[in-house]
Structure 1
Amino acid sequence: MTTNNRKLNIGILGCGPIAQAAHFESAAKAKNAELYAICDLADDLRERMAATHAPKNSFANYEEMLADPELDAVVIATTDAFHVQASISALRAGKHVLCEKPLGISVEEVEELRSEVEASGKVLQVGNMKRFDPGIQSAKAFIDQEMGEMLALKVWYCDSTHRYAVTDAVQPLMVKSAKAKKPPVNPKADLERYYMLAHGSHLLDTARHFAGEIVEVEARLRNRYGAYCWFIDVAFANGVIGHLDLTVSVRMDWHEGFQVYGEHGSILGKTYNPWLFKSSDVDVFREKTGTTTRVLGADGHFYRRQLEALSDVVLKNAPMVGANIDDGVASVRGMVAIAQSVASGQAVKLADVSGGL
């Protein structure tokens, strides 16, 4: 087969919830990728997933999967604490990487990973799948091509108390194993940290995707009745000002979206619970014509589309449209800066931060 019609052989590390809800199906449905292998040390979980999804190979040992010469790329679908080391192992084995967000949990480890990516010559894409939402893509295209200078933007990500009623109805029944590998500390033992890593990584990436590099944040956090609310003022390198709202959980329906004010028009976007696989409703207002348009965005399988994009980069040398290593590092720096700003009550520059969440 030629490069143009060859499929990328994908190995998925981790058979837990995110693999079951997103990555197995994405590899099966992708037009240019194939579910070649899965890996998990929990025998019962791995064997059940192999029976369900029929990869060509199944591994209990990650190094053995990486040693397979037919394997092209790895999806890192483990818990956050294992992302960096698993990615480094894959890169050193000569494999491309799609790593779930957040890229890591400390500035130092993601900077180490950046060095590994640069030395490897391989592709690393971060799993900020919202970049493959057709509505968000229509907003980005308008910003880049027609809007002119951006004045300001607001982005909000407000998880709902009713999210599990929604996800339980639409996701597959999750299979668990008592033998699953767990990090030294339960990620949900500190909810402030957990929510920032899980949801803040999306919020920051969307803001950066639209407005460019974030240089400084000033954040406040209020925690009442089990709800956490961050209000974050953001300064961008290009002078744009921004406001971010991360709230978990609001006593209402899922509330996520963005508003962008520009020289030649504005944008208002409403984003849905990702497991509905529904593209964002994005209204683009053009000042010149006095009209508003909205892309239909019928294909809302963001996870499949991000895998196809990675495959195109590797197989066809297509430009990277997903989040790259620099985007992943910047998101981690931003989350650490937000945590430090909350603790100090002062604005924090991203370039000055170190440590982790």
Structure 2
Amino acid sequence: MPKKEDRLLRVGVLGCGPIAQAAHFESCTKAKNAELFAICDVADDLRERMAATHAPRKAYADYDAMLADPELEAVIIATSDAFHVPAAMRALQAGKHVLCEKPLGVAVEEVEELAAAVRQTGLTLQVGHMKRFDPGIEAAKAFISTEMGQLQALKAWYCDSTHRYAMTDAVQPLMVTSRNARKPSGDPKADKRRYFMLAHGSHLLDTARHLAGEITAVQARLSERFGALCWFVDLEFAGGTLGHLDLTVAIRGDWQEGFTVYGERGSIQAKTYNPWYYKSSDVEIFHEQDATTRRVLGADGHFYRRQLEGFAATILHGLPQQGADVTDGLASVRGMAAIARSVERGQPVGLAEVEGPV
């Protein structure tokens, strides 16, 4: 791991549940320019066990008390989706920078309010679209931005597997749970269309938009059979690029994720792995000029740590924000809401006209 720098961003993690245990505690510990300063959870048993395991400087049962700590500089929001916007708003009001798990919110209007708060405070808010820090995807983005010329088409897919838990349980830490954990009203997983779109579709949309630019309209179809959901989504990009997305949960087979981009001076073929393997995407970039294909090794595939390091560098050193900002987070929520409306209406939907929940 990189050697720790002299100046470390003091980070507090809100929520001690699975995503914090699998990604954020370790990222704070390993990041070269950040530290796990504090953790916060209302469940005493869970918080105390995580404090004993990860050794933050401070542990809080009350979020407002953590936010009132003058030494705390930033928070990672690692809670259920429904709590993201309220928790981020409170952090901004307390003068703290925010790294919020994706999706940024569950409805267009609440994220618009959050975007206004970010503009008003001038603080940094980054969305946890950690795939932007996958070295393979970074290489693809760099080629598109500097050498590829005009884009013609993008195809991207995110197909979860019925066997993914057998695979990921072997590499993830054993998750600690608590009966006292705070949960949103109702069961967020009861509506599978909404849950799968928020959990997985947010990644797919952000990757497509990150690589090919602003999405202006979508036309979506949904197939529901034998407990699996499959969305095929045609995209219109502002630059004229054609796009197609495949979101399927879950396929009977191995994890399938990746993208293909066709452009004026080359093309890109990418295979992305389940994130818990911390393995960079296999990205092959074809250069038309000399008819060669190049592949980036991407040896450092800890995207969660790398996204925190980028977040900290922006705050500590004023570097340009590399990760997804609040505008990107809002665009992702708009895109997911547009897909839901398109499925309901059976016709194309422009993102500019979309309001309401995903």
TM-score (norm 2): 0.98
Q: Aligned partners of 2:149 and 2:171: how far apart in 1?
A: 40
Q: Aligned partners of 2:233 and 2:146: how far apart in 1?
A: 28
Q: Aligned partners of 1:235 and 1:156: how far apart in 2?
A: 16
Aligned: 1:107 with 2:108: yes
- 1:50 aligned partner: 51
- 1:212 aligned partner: 213
Q: Aligned partners of 1:252 and 1:284: how far apart in 2?
A: 27
Task: Map residues 253-332 of structure 1 onto 2, 5 A cutoff.
Answer: 253-332=254-333
Q: Aligned partners of 1:98 and 1:53: how far apart in 2?
A: 19
- Residue deviations 1:251-299 (CA, integer Å, cap 9, x gap): 1110000000000000000000000000000000000010000000000
SS of the residue 2:138 aligns to = helix
- 2:17 aligned partner: 16
- 1:249 to partner: Cα distance: 0.4
- 2:177 aligned partner: 176
- 2:241 aligned partner: 240
- Residue deviations 1:190-249 (CA, integer Å, cap 9, x gap): 111100000000000000000110000000000000110000000001111100000000
Structure 1 unaligned residues grouped into runs of 5+: none
SS of the residue 2:236 aligns to = strand
SS of the residue 2:202 aligns to = helix
Aligned residues: 354
- 2:33 aligned partner: 32
Q: Aligned partners of 1:280 and 1:194: how far apart in 2?
A: 25
SS of the residue 1:189 aligns to = coil
- Residue deviations 1:64-95 (CA, integer Å, cap 9, x gap): 00000000000000000000000000001000
Structure 2 unaligned residues grouped into runs of 5+: none
Q: Aligned partners of 2:329 and 2:145: how far apart in 1?
A: 21
SS of the residue 1:184 aligns to = coil
Q: Aligned partners of 2:283 and 2:195: how far apart in 1?
A: 29
- 1:5 to partner: Cα distance: 3.4
Paired letter, 1:84: V
Q: Aligned partners of 2:63 and 2:241: how far apart in 1?
A: 44
- 1:121 aligned partner: 122
SS of the residue 1:196 aligns to = helix
Paired letter, 2:238: A
Q: Aligned partners of 2:281 and 2:308: how far apart in 1?
A: 19
Q: Aligned partners of 2:227 and 2:66: how far apart in 1?
A: 42
Paired letter, 2:132: R
Q: Aligned partners of 1:185 and 1:140: how far apart in 2?
A: 39
- Please list every run of at least 4 consecutive aligned residues from structure 1 whose deviation after the TM superposition is greater than 2 angstroms: none
Task: Map residues 317-356 of structure 1 onto 2, 5 A cutoff.
Answer: 317-356=318-357
SS of the residue 1:311 aligns to = helix
- 1:185 to partner: Cα distance: 1.6
- 2:226 aligned partner: 225
Paired letter, 1:65: M
CA RMSD after TM alignment: 0.6
- 2:162 aligned partner: 161
Q: Aligned partners of 2:37 and 2:167: how far apart in 1?
A: 31
SS of the residue 1:65 aligns to = helix
Task: Map residues 27-106 of structure 1 onto 2, 5 A cutoff.
Answer: 27-106=28-107
Q: Aligned partners of 2:23 and 2:335: how far apart in 1?
A: 26
Paired letter, 1:262: G
Paired letter, 1:172: P
SS of the residue 1:181 aligns to = coil
Paired letter, 1:161: T
Aligned: 1:249 with 2:250: yes
SS of the residue 2:189 aligns to = helix
Percent identical pairs in the alignment equals 69
TM-score (norm 1): 0.99
Q: Aligned partners of 1:138 and 1:354: how far apart in 2?
A: 34
SS of the residue 2:169 aligns to = helix
- 2:192 aligned partner: 191
SS of the residue 1:187 aligns to = coil
